[in-house]
Amino acid sequence: MMLHKHDVLIIGAGLAGLRVAIELAETYDTAILSKVHPLRSHSVAAQGGINASLGEDDSWEQHAFDTVKGSDYLADQDVVEILAKEAPRAVIENERWGTAFSRTDDGRIAQRPFGGAGYPRTCYAADRTGHNLLHTTFEQALRVGVKFYNEWFATSLVRDGNHVCGLTALEIASGDVYGFVGKAVVIATGGFGRVYSHSTNAVINTGDGCALALRVGAPLKDMEFVQFHPTTLFGSSILISEAARGEGGYLINARGERFMSKYAPKNMELAPRDIVARAIRTEIDEGRGSEDQYVHLDLRHLGKEKILERLPGIREISIDFAGVDPIHEPVPITPAQHYSMGGVHCDKHGMTPISGLYAVGEAACMSVHGANRLGGNSLLETLVFGRIVGQQIAENLRNAAEPSSERVDDEAFRIRQKLQELLLKERGESPSEIREVLGETMDRLVGIFRKESDLKAALSMIHHLKERFPNVSVGHVDRRFNYSLIRVLELENMLDLAEVITMGALKRRESRGAHWRLDYPERDDQKFLKHSLFTRIEDYVKTELIDVNLGMFEVKERTY
């Protein structure tokens, strides 16, 4: 039997997975599997910062209010309360571990204004916050003795009745498939932005964990809520952090107008992302974009010194990828996919309806961001809830049943056969072509502005691609380091997720947060102040609506 055994198996070595592991590794045998080296997880790319109400006039209540309003009232308010209350602790903890936060003149952690926030509460390390946080957190995981399986690709979860008893994974270096037996399995696989072809996400962000959860019968939640970031570099879709607007950047259309005054007169460029992204797309669609394709982000008035000190990374990106130096020229930008508000349905302790299966970080939907995430809240979510989920697992492990090795071994056998068949198919459909059509379809038909006819067309295209998928040919038969095979497995996952995103968008006949329906432009609290839930039953996906946990903040109209 090719089996590994640990108490806890965590899929994903981004901030969320690492933080769970740190909480557990000193007491339990804890392993992390990651398809790339941990320091290449997408958390490393986070630029702008992490929110915490550290300021004297700020409070967790204000942070919670901004988050709930930003979510268009879809976030669960009990979960938001935890996020906001625990934020200062999470930031200070990382600071003590060694994260080099930028400082004020009197030595405190510096904070910048961010979209939708009533107070400058975003802590940052220049514009490389994720890089700093991930390195410190990884060091701590090494210190407490977490076992790492780096460059291992999780291929399925294994279920025994209503328990999860392990998973299967492919060792990329050898091409061998192993079973992993564990009492708890944590999905910390990050977002699924690459379902779209224009995305700020790393190429590895294909939502594998969410697809594995769906396949094993765990529900996904709120998948139709996809965040489009207002400012990505025109051409490459590389992120230009909200920090650029937080530091005072302007958005300018082809006529030289600061057009946000029409859309969010009070908050201007610092309205939440859903509103700014729609404003930019509207300017471009109505003919006020440059070359009908982009608008400009103007930083010149900030001055050279501030740009060099606070925004060195985005200056480099602008020079390297657009040949534009923001000190001297405005930067051409356009919105693109950025964040997945939806994910694996779980409670505030990360528990899914299947016992032993947990979710955390961007892969999870607790739901702390509702219909629209505020910038700076998702790095925070990974650290705050990573710790809480770790504590919950420790508690649950005390009376966890012995997991079934046989089940895991049988599943590993099945996956070996499946991969073998895939590799042996010499001729067939091209996976890269299917992937391209998928991304283009999602961009064009399931984007910022949606309508029924587009969504129906997208769904039928996705079904057509899913019919083609079983005939794909990997193209390379080698077992070792076969990245073509990995791309095919990711494609299978993305097709399943695209279907669910589109189904959710079609069924939600209202406009809320990042989900905008041209044919239903109003928010409809009567029918849709609800989370959507997607459960796969054999080949069919059941959808239902469940209640939102309301609480201290009354549901109101959202203006900025």
3-class DSSP assignment, residue 160 = strand
Of 90, 158, 185, 188, the residue at the interface with ligand FAD (CB under 6 A) is 188
532 binds ligand FAD (CB under 6 A): no
Residue with Cβ nearer ligand FAD (491 or 529): 491
Helix/strand/coil (H/E/C) assignment for every residue in 266-309: CCHHHCCHHHHHHHHHHHHHCCCCECCCEEEEECHHHCHHHHHH
* DSSP letter (8 states) at residue 543: E
448/428 Cα distance (integer angstroms): 34
**Shortest approach of ligand FAD to residue 28 CB, angstroms?**
20
CB of 374 to ligand FAD, least distance (A): 9
Q: What is the CA radius of gyration of the chain?
A: 22
271 or 368: CB nearest ligand FAD: 368
Rounded to whole angstroms, the Cα distance separating 522 from 525 reads 9
| Contact call for residues 121 and 5 (beta carbons, < 8 A) | no
Question: Residue 18 CB, nearest distance to ligand FAD (Å)?
Answer: 7
Interacting residue with ligand FAD among 8, 9, 20, 47 (CB under 6 A): 47
- Length of the chain, please? 560
Could you identify the residue written with the tokens 């992490």? Answer: 50
Among 22, 24, 30, 35, contact with ligand FAD (rule: CB under 6 A): 35
Quick one: angle between helices 483-507 and 405-424, nearest 10? 100
Q: Which is nearer to ligand FAD, 50 or 284 (CB)?
A: 50
- By CB under 6 A, name the one of 67, 94, 367, 382 that touches ligand FAD: 382
How many beta carbons lie within 10 A of that of residue 338, not counting itself? 26
Q: Do 218 and 343 form a contact (C-beta atoms < 8 A)?
A: no
Choices 23-31, 35-43, 104-112, 401-409 (CB under 6 A): range interacting with ligand FAD: 35-43
- Longest CA–CA span in the chain (Å) reads 68
484 upstream amide cis, omega within 30 of 0: no
> How are beta strands 530-537 and 220-221 bridged, if at all?
antiparallel
| Binder among 8, 21, 31, 50 for ligand FAD (CB under 6 A) | 50
Query: In the bound complex, what is the minimum distance in angstroms from residue 67's beta carbon to ligand FAD?
Result: 12
Q: Is 16 in the site for ligand FAD (CB under 6 A)?
A: yes
DSSP 459-492: HHHHHHHHHHGGGB--S----TT-HHHHHHHHHH
Question: Judged by CB under 6 A, which stretch of 20-28, 329-337, 372-380, 505-513 contacts ligand FAD?
Answer: 372-380
How far out from the chain centre does Cα 429 lie?
29
Instruction: Assess whether 229 carries a catalytic annotation.
Output: yes
Tell me the residue type at 482: N
Of 8, 10, 11, 186, the one binding ligand FAD by CB under 6 A: 11
Minimum separation from the CB atom of position 247 to ligand FAD (A)? 13
C-alpha separations of 396 from 24, 399, 455 in Å: 12, 6, 42
CB of 475 to ligand FAD, least distance (A): 20
Instruction: List the catalytic residue out of 229, 296, 369, 558.
Output: 229
Question: With respect to ligand FAD, which residue has the nearer C-beta, 219 or 386?
Answer: 386
Scanning 47-55, 84-92, 220-228, 515-523 for contacts with ligand FAD by CB under 6 A, the matching segment is 47-55
The C-alpha atoms of residue 426 and residue 473 are separated, in whole angstroms, by 6
Smallest separation, CB 302 to ligand FAD (Å): 18
Question: C-beta of 229: minimal distance to ligand FAD in Å?
Answer: 8
Q: Spell out the alpha helix ranges (H) of 190-259.
A: 208-215, 243-246
Residue 46 as a binder of ligand FAD (CB under 6 A): the answer is yes
Question: How far is the C-alpha of 307 from the C-alpha of 300, rounded, in Å?
Answer: 9
Task: Report 495-524 residues binding ligand FAD (CB under 6 A).
Answer: none
Our finding on whether 136 is near ligand FAD (CB under 6 A) is no
Binding to ligand FAD by residue 390, rule CB under 6 A? no
Q: Which one, 216 or 455, has the nearer CB to ligand FAD?
A: 216
Dihedral in degrees, nearest 10, Cα atoms 548, 442, 238, 136? 40
Among 71, 94, 102, 129, binds ligand FAD (CB under 6 A): 129
Write out the DSSP string of 30-82.
EEEEESS-GGGSGGGG--S-EE---STT--HHHHHHHHHHHTTT-S-HHHHHH
SS3 assignment, position 92:
helix
Q: Which of residues 197-216 bind ligand FAD (CB under 6 A)?
A: 200-201, 204-205, 208-209
| Nearer CB in complex with ligand FAD: 93/362 | 362
Q: Choose which of 21, 22, 36, 299 interacts with ligand FAD (CB under 6 A).
A: 36
Q: Which of 42, 121, 245, 373 is catalytic?
A: 245
Tell me the β-bridge partners of 158: 166
Instruction: Rule CB under 6 A: choose which of 136, 156, 378, 482 binds ligand FAD.
Output: 378
Among the listed residues 80, 90, 126, 154, the single contact to ligand FAD using CB under 6 A: 154
Confirm or reject binding of residue 130 to ligand FAD (CB under 6 A).
yes
Minimum CB separation of residue 297 from ligand FAD in Å reads 16
Identify which of residues 23 and 283 has a Cβ nearer to ligand FAD in the complex.
23
Stretch that binds ligand FAD, among 135-143, 264-272, 359-367, 426-434 (CB under 6 A): 359-367
* 16 vs 459 by CB, closer to ligand FAD: 16
Q: Is 326 in the site for ligand FAD (CB under 6 A)?
A: no
Strand order in the sheet with 343-345: 364-365, 343-345, 220-221, 530-537, 540-547
Whether 315 sits among the annotated catalytic residues: the reply is: no
DSSP 3-state assignment of 163?
strand
Q: Which residues bind ligand FAD (CB under 6 A)?
A: 11-17, 33-36, 38, 41-43, 45-50, 129-130, 152-154, 188-191, 200-201, 204-205, 208-209, 239, 339, 361-363, 375-379, 382
Residues tagged active-site:
229, 245
